[in-house]
Amino acid sequence: MPQFFPRTANSIIRLALLAAVVAIATIAWLGALFVRSPYEMGQQTPRNQPVPFSHQHHVGGLGIDCRYCHTTVEKSSFANIPPTHTCMNCHSEMWAVAPVLKTVRQSYRTGKSIDWLRVHDLPDFVYFNHAIHVHKGIGCETCHGRVDRMPLTWQANSLTMNWCLNCHRHPEDFVRPREHVFDMDYTPPRDQKELGAKLVREYRIQRLTSCSTCHR
Amino acid sequence: MSPNLLYAIALEFDSPSALVKATKSVRERGFTKYEVYSPYPVKQLDEIVPGTDPVPLMVLSAGVLGAVTALVMEYYIAVYEYPINVGGRPLNSWPSFIPITFELTVLFAAIAAFIGMLCLAGLPLLHHPVFNLPEFARASSDRFFLMIEERDPMMEIVEEREWLNKLGALSVSEVESR
Amino acid sequence: MSFEDEQRMSRRPPEPGTSVAVIAPHETFRSVTDQITSVVLTRRTPLFWWATFGAALVGIGFFVVSTCWLFYKGIAVLGNQIPVAWGYPITNFVWWIGIGHAGTLISAILLLLNQSWRNSINRFAEAMTIFAVACAGMFPVFHLGRAWILYWILPYPNTMHVQPQFRSPLVWDVFAVSTYATVSVLFWYLGMIPDLASLRDRSKSKLAYGFYGVLCLGWRGASRHWRWHESASLLLAGLATPLVLSVHTVVSFDFTIAILPGWHSTIFPPYFVAGAIYSGFAMVLILAIPLRAVYGLQNLVTERHLNNCAKLMLATGLILAYTYLFEPFNAWYSGDPYEMAVVNNRAFGPEAWTFWTTILCNVIIPQSLWFRWVRVNPKPLFFVSCVVLYGMWMERFMLIITSLSRDFLPSSWANFVASFWDNALLLGSIGVFVLFFMLFVRFLPMISIFEVRELLPHSSPTGGSEK
Amino acid sequence: MKSQSQSGFVPIEQLIAAPRPRHWQTVEQYEALARGGSEEYCEAEDTPLDEVSRRRFLQLAAASFAFAGITGCTRQPPESILPYVTEPENVVPGRPKYYATAIPVGPMAQGVIVESHLGRPTKVEGNPAHPASLGASSVHSQASVLDLYDPDRATVITSLGQQRSWEEFRLALTNLLGPVQTRGGGGLHILTGSVASPTLGAQLQAVLKSLPNAKWHQYDAAGPHGARGGANLAFGRPVNTMYRFDQASVILSLDADFLVTGEPSTRYAHDFAARRVRGNRLDMNRLYVVESTMTATGGKADQRLPLQYSEVEQFTRTLGETVGVPNVTAASNARYSEWLGAVAKDLAAHRGSSIVIPGAHQSPAVHALAHAINAQLGNIGNTVVYTDPLEQEPTDEVASIGELAQALRENQVELLLILGANPAYDAPADLGFPEILSRAKTSVLVSLHSNETAEWMTWQIPESHPLESWGDARAYDGTVSIVQPLIETLYESRSPIEILDAVLNPPGRSGYDIVRAYWQGKSGRNDFEAWWRKSVCNGVIENSALPLITPALATNWAAKLPNVPQQQGIEIVFRPDPYMYDGRFANNTWLQELPQPMTKLTWDNAVYLSSATAKRLGIAAQHRVELSLRGRTVEGSVWILPGQPDDTVSVHLGWGRTRSGRAGNGAGFNAYRLRTSDAMWTAPDLQIRLVGGTFPLATTQLVQSMEGRALMISDTVDRYRSDPDFVKKMTKDPPDGLSLYPKWNYTGHAWGMSIDLTKCVNCNACVVACQAENNIPVVGKDQVLNRRAMHWIRIDTYYEGDIANPRGMYQPVPCMQCEDAPCELVCPVQATNHSVDGLNDMVYNRCVGTRFCSNNCPYKVRRFNFTLYEDWVTESIKLQRNPDVTVRSRGVMEKCTYCVQRIREAEIYAQVDDKGLPDGTIQTACQQACPTQAIIFGDINQPDSHVRKLKEEKLDYELLGELNTRPRTTYLAELRNPHAETEQA
């Protein structure tokens, strides 16, 4: 069969080979991007809660301290989600009949817990402890973002292991004076490097990257 | 047929010796643009047919590249990316890094040899004028071809063309450049 | 070629360096090409092929069922336990990878050594290598507790900053085996390109022409191409030679790096390489003997080939025997009580049968290869090869279980008991191998045509081969 | 007999259907609950359960992720948080709370402190303030929490198969009691175990007072029958005998396994070990053991004499005569007379500081003689002390159950009330149980499980577990603990005292009111409230221990001694199982899979034979044999027990249950079938017949010899005295600089452990404690047979010396936390590596399961999840899990990490609460449970730490140190104190 292949076959086969290579590379690259994407990490997406609770209003607007609701944040690994009772402290008086708070009142009446949706959710094999981080001068905002500007709360950071390690390796870039831990609008000073270094010494912050620091 | 449609004059032989002899004389005659086709590598042609062999250099450089890549990767990962105490061994336990270095050296070099050869030969190339010649099918079995390409300046001289017929080929045919 | 001719040739003393005994005298470029290409293109598929192919499919059945069950239920379906945490899968892995080695040895080392006789067996030997490595590669995956995160063994930029641990021989293994597989495939394919061209030019149907036309990348056989082709082949051979040695060395590291008595030994690398080649040649013969009979290739794969392979088996077998002898000496000389205990346990412990089977299959029976009659007669040679192949599996099995089942603390001693699925998986992998090989025989040139051409007397202008 | 596996558990409908548990944390809340202001509490307390199921749900989800690969490329499923509605005061979510209570086993209880996570009791620890615990805990205390969550518990009140309500039952009860009362209680029979609980006892006495014709029977199948008989024989009155091992220089055990079996063993082991290492180990006590089967105590003995059960009595008489007990004579036996002489001399040499302790199950004669010998040796008041009996009504229990059987046979029983007992299973075989139970007109069973007896009853009431009900209990010395619940009853269950209260003063009060009211009256204090709170909070009632008494030997007691039994043929000996006790723990998978001390058997009991006897009978291990005794037969599997006396078959009671639940059913064989009321603990003329075939027994240690390797170093105290460095000479540690690489040095904490082999008595409490703390799954018999048991710490038990009478060697082996760990080196994915403080971390979520680390571990302490062993289905089991430890999935390696979760928590809160980390703040689970404090954990970089001091001792050595793994866990070689003279004898 003389000259079975047309002249175009040359370009076709070469393009095909090239395309294969490019395709594989692209897929790998896109995959890598995807697993790091805010979407995949569940970042920046406000969660719909049974009660449309607004940190923006309560923290930003009314200026309620984090610890008013998250009572155990300084004492325990778990920062605590406020019991219905805490809501009713105020809402038995104000907005006492607002339809938006129906669920809360119902919960208070029936004693059934409000079913909040978890926003910051680490895998079960990760053991994070709020108390120690707060104690060492890591601000709420450092991990949770400007909650005071969130009408509905979302996850501000990726919470990947990389992200954790970044701070565990360079605490001096993130640590702040203890008195500012609960400030939402704290802006690190220009000399954060020096201040950080100083606080790291003062608070005896260790650079803990052992596996058992978080995985047990 | 009009000459611009011509790709080359094909001389067909049935033995390597005839081919070698013909190629020698073609070369001595002063032809420059010719190519020889054989069903297996004929050693003697290497001296006759001009051309260099850059494959070894490619392989060497790729091998070096592989070695460096491996060492850098292992050192970076073990010492910088996540320095961690494994069984009380130092971070840079270089003796343990040797095997992978070797393997990557070989891997890179081998791939270079393969791809290098294809690139040099301009393969893959499915369509080529020589395939226009029906007899060429036997070039991969028991026939030997000497092709003097049309673009060879000597081809414009009619005598030279006729001279080719006297080289004792089984057949002399024209290969179209379709 | 007639039976008488065969007798004559077998009686003729072999003349090393000459190709006369390698290929029957009256063969021509044409005849050679015809014979080999016709297997693929024109001849009708022999019953033998269908039978073997069917058998292979049964094996595949085993393979599929057992792998599914394995992944569904976990490693628990195998015999593995603590202390014997490695059982069949690793044995099979080492066994298969070892088998592969003969192929590379023939195609690479013998090429460098100018052993031109290898030209007519290297192609299917290389194919054997590739399929064997493929089978080998599966087992480390099967034996993982969580195979679905296998890729954690590879270095890649991840969101955890955690990477492979390069002190672990298992990581070396991953690199060694994948490199080995890649290089083997490249070498195999590179060598096949000109032959694919032959197939292309001789195929009658459009489909076949297109298929082989694309596969051979439009090979024309131009002298420059041949030059680069040859130098690439030689370089690949030069690379494959240390590679093949390194691969089984690294495999042996899986054991020697461990501190286990009976594993932690410096003689393992040479020992393993020798064993690998030993089993590899056994497999080559097991494949070659039926093929040449079925496809009437006796004049291409001649008794000289059988003879040489057998001799190589004998040689590597003797190296192995030496290491078997040396192990007890090593233990005794080290004065390490645990080493001595293991050696003693291997020979006389509860799992001694594995040891003695190994000795019988790898040392005693192969001694028959001293007799030329055994070496050049297909039937006995085939038998010996099978024995050796089994023996080599048993050896790896013995090395693994006897050391693990009785190491340092008697409190943790326990013997290994294989489960049904262990055997099913091994059988399955054999099925996979045969299936691949049968497809190769059917659709690709099982003998390197252009290299055989080089063996023909008139292949060189000055007459008579220069090799 | 098929084998069970916990992973076989499936969710139980009743469990789902059962009313929502009502949790609460503190007494105050409980009272609020009781006051009826309950709603907020009980409802608010819903959250813990949801919290739990939420956490577990994720773990379940994790399984499915596993297949997708737990990496960046898996999204977590949406997860919800359910906060309280009103938060109980002093609850800090994320930090556990601890409550004191007590776990009764038989008549005696052990004081414990229970860890509770948001209302879920998860872990039981000893109560340092409690005399029977001193901070340590028995296997039963440790395992009790699993019993609480046992998915096979009885969950609803039933009558003849119909589910009934509590109200219906009370109605029925009043109707039944009506006629009974008219007859002054005639026809009312109450069967209980031995009752030591003051409240329950008082209730029973009250019942008998108000209904004089009613009958109260007590029967504890594994109780100390011989001891009661012996006391009556010797003193003419019941007494409670206590031993002070911390003051005893020479101890002679007459068939007593006092270090491991029975409730006081925790305290006894503690005292024994403390005394054993006195004076820098040079002033060592000496333990002689004469016994009729190989026990952990026997293995620990400095000198041991295997004798048949009947010979022990002979031996005791001779000893009595030798030490000069008046009017005791005996024919001496050449076989041991010399040995006995030497022992007697040694005892006499230690007047007042020696102990002769008879086994609880030995014959009354032996007990009586022992009392006399102790008196003769002047031990009474010093090392042996007496109090009034713990039981409210000490009775001859065998006779007592006999009377009940009698009454049943004669159809005199109108109403039979069984509280916690299980006669259908464990009553003497000659009394005609269980069939005769059907002769009771009405019968009511109160029990944890719907057990063998249940199927003969007209009513069955689920019994509340001690961890979910109020009560009180006595320790071995009489000290009373208030039993307080950690969790609202999981099911429709009642405690015995609540039942009796319903009988006494209908409609009955809550357990809390009953107990409180009783003690209000009993204590008669005006500051009762404070006293009550203190008592409940501390877990012990101050000076409630029974006063010491000094009973006098009855005149001519010796004359009343029965004749020495003549042993004929093969003798069978019944023993309570160290773990199953009388069978009540049969469905506890932790105890089922807990290796027996000397044989390492799990999931089965066995027919123990000496190798000589076995050879003679042509029987080998795991052969199935039929034991027949007076026409009664059982089939069992044989195990060859080194040190077992010849012609003696010993069997453990408490196995072969048929209605214990999925784990216990069919495990082992039921030895009660051979046991008759006249031969409760031994019988002659046992017939053994091979029935052909074998039945596999699952042991976790196949080889029990050290193969001549210096793994467990043990020598005499004299050797140590003469050559203090002998251990260092025996072990060759490789010189520094042997390695190609430099040493890795650890600044800051460097955690380490020291295990004192002299102190380990092989009680296996550490093993259960570890299992409870670290969510270690149970794998089931088939997997144990496949060598896949999961225990992170094991006690290697070796035998040394003559197989007829060997020494036992006990070596606890957890992960050694090697500094140059071979396992880490070979892990391809860094799933195991070192933390800054030198722990050998195991990162489950990184493990891909190559199992290379296990191969390369010379100690073989790594365990692999060959398949999904964790139970991710059974709701109730999930409640037990420790939330601080990852629940491992299939295909990952796991191992001991020195309870790293405890270390990290302690480190964190030490900083948060700005308090330091003094030595001893962090205890590993095994250390905490260990009765003898054989395991000590701490910081070896801290100059004055306990562990450091121990490691500096001359007896300190590394296991397999020559491999240069540089383990952080090291051992103190065992010292023994054999008596030169008896050695010769």
CATH number, residue D327: 3.40.228.10
Same domain membership, residue D718 and residue D657: no
Task: Assign D939 to helix, strand or coil.
Answer: strand
Q: Structural domain tally of chain D?
A: 4
Give yes or no: residues D209 and D327 share one domain. Answer: no
Taking residues B119-131, what's their average pLDDT? Answer: 90
Does the beta carbon of C13 lie under 8 angstroms from any beta carbon of chain A? no
Contacts across the A-B interface (CB distance below 8 Å): 32
Domain that holds residue D292: 240-387
If asked whether residues D266 and D342 sit together in one domain, one would say yes
Lowest mean pLDDT among B56-65, B156-165, C279-288, D917-926: B156-165
CATH number of the domain where residue D683 is located: 2.40.40.20
CB < 8 Å to C416, chain D: none
Mapping DSSP onto H, E and C, the string for D103-136 reads EEECCEEEEEEEEEECCEEEEEEECCCCCCCCCC
Q: Of B86, B93, B95, which is closest to D834 when you measure between CB atoms? A: B86
The CATH number for D407's domain is 3.40.50.740
* D317 in the same domain as D192: no
Q: Which chain C residues have a beta carbon less than 8 Å from that of D706?
A: 410
- Bridge pairing between strands D162-164 and D286-291: unpaired
Find residues 134-173 of chain B whose CB sits inside 8 Å of chain D: none
Question: Across the interface, do D825 and B90 touch by the CB < 8 Å criterion?
Answer: no
The SS3 of residue C261 is coil
Angle at C410 between CA D833 and CA D650, to 5 degrees: 125
Using a CB–CB cutoff of 8 Å, tell me whether B81 touches chain D.
no
Cα angle A111, A116, A120 (rounded to 5 degrees) comes to 145
pTM: 0.90
Which helix or strand (DSSP H or E) is residue C398 part of?
helix C378-405
Report yes or no: D62 at the A interface, CB cutoff 8 Å.
yes
Residue D458 DSSP one-character state: S
* Cβ–Cβ below 8 Å for C258 and D826: yes
Q: In terms of Cα–Cα distance, which of D616, D593, D595, D619 is closest to D608? A: D619
Does residue D657 share a domain with residue D605?
Answer: yes
Quick check: C76 pLDDT over 80?
A: yes
* Residue numbers in B near D740 (CB within 8 A): 95
Asked if residue D91 is part of any domain, the answer here is no
Asked if residue D88 lies in contact with residue D41, where contact means CB atoms within 8 angstroms, the answer is yes
Backbone angles phi, psi at D264, to 5 degrees: -65, -5
Distances (CA, A) of A77 to A133, B85, D751: 9, 27, 23
pLDDT at C463: 42
Alpha-carbon separation of residue B73 from B88, C180, C253, D826, D908 (angstroms) = 21, 20, 21, 19, 36
User: Which residue positions in chain D have pLDDT lower than 50?
Assistant: 1-73
The full set of domain ranges for chain C reads 23-156+168-459
- Chain C residues in contact with D67 by the CB 8 A cut-off are 148
Closest chain D C-alpha to B64 CA, distance in angstroms:
26
A40 and D72 within 8 Å at the Cβ level: the answer is yes
CA distance D970 to chain B (A): 18
pLDDT for residue C214 is more than 60 = yes
pLDDT at B170: 87
Sheet with D969-972: list strands edge to edge: D935-939, D751-756, D969-972, D956-957
Residue D85 resides in a domain: no
Lowest mean pLDDT segment, chosen from C18-32, C288-302, D457-471, D621-635: C18-32
Query: A10–B127: do the CB atoms touch at under 8 Å?
Result: yes
**Dist. CA B106–CA B104, nearest whole Å:** 5
Number of H helices, E strands in chain C: 17, 0
Q: Examine the domain organization and report whether D357 and D291 are in the same domain.
A: yes
Tell me the average pLDDT across C133-153. 93
Q: Is A10's CB within 8 Å of B125's CB? A: yes
- To test the contact with chain A by mutation, choose from C159, C160, C212, C219 the residue with the greatest count of A C-beta atoms within 10 A, namely C159
DSSP annotation string for D209-247 = HHSTT-EEEE--TTS-HHHHHHHHHHHSS--EEEE-GGG
Tokens of B6: 């011509």
Say which residue the tokens 């291997």 belong to. C346
Alpha-carbon span D532 to D534, nearest angstrom: 5
Q: ipTM of this model?
A: 0.91
Q: Which residues contact D95 (CB under 8 A, 6 or more apart)?
A: A72, A75, A76, A77
- Judging contacts by C-beta atoms under 8 Å, the chain D residues touching residue C152 are 71, 829, 846, 848
Residues C210, A160: C-beta atoms closer than 8 Å = no
What distance in Å separates the CA atoms of residue D887 and residue D871, rounded to the nearest whole number?
10
Residue D66 lies in a domain: no
Q: Which of A200-214, C26-40, D174-188 is predicted least confidently?
A: C26-40
Does D746 touch chain A if contact means CB atoms closer than 8 Å?
no
Considering only the beta carbons, identify the residue of A42, A82, A117 that sits closest to D83.
A82
Average pLDDT over residues A206-210: 91
Shared domain for D774 and D830, answered yes or no, is yes
Q: How far off is chain B from D853, nearest CA to CA, in Å?
A: 11
Domain residue limits, chain B: 3-52+129-176, 55-120
Chain C residues whose beta carbon lies within 8 Å of the beta carbon of residue D794: 411
Q: What is the DSSP letter of D191?
A: E
Q: Which residues make beta-bridge pairs with D683? A: D572
Residue in chain D lying closest to A76 (CA): D94
Verify that D720 and D850 share a domain, yes or no: yes
* Architecture (CATH level 2) of domain B3-52+129-176: 2-Layer Sandwich (3.30)
pLDDT of residue D41: 31
* Nearest C-alpha in B relative to C36: B141
pLDDT value for D74:
56
Which amino acid would we find at residue D249?
S
Instruction: Tell me what the mean pLDDT of segment B39-59 comes to.
Output: 86
Could you tell me the CATH superfamily of domain C23-156+168-459?
A: Formate dehydrogenase/DMSO reductase domain (1.20.1630.10)
Q: Which of A74-83, C35-44, C220-229, D276-285 has the lowest mean pLDDT?
A: C35-44
A42 vs D198, residue with greater confidence = D198
Give the mutation candidate from B85, B127, B138 for the A interface (greatest A CB count, under 10 A).
B127
Å from B160 to nearest chain C CA?
23
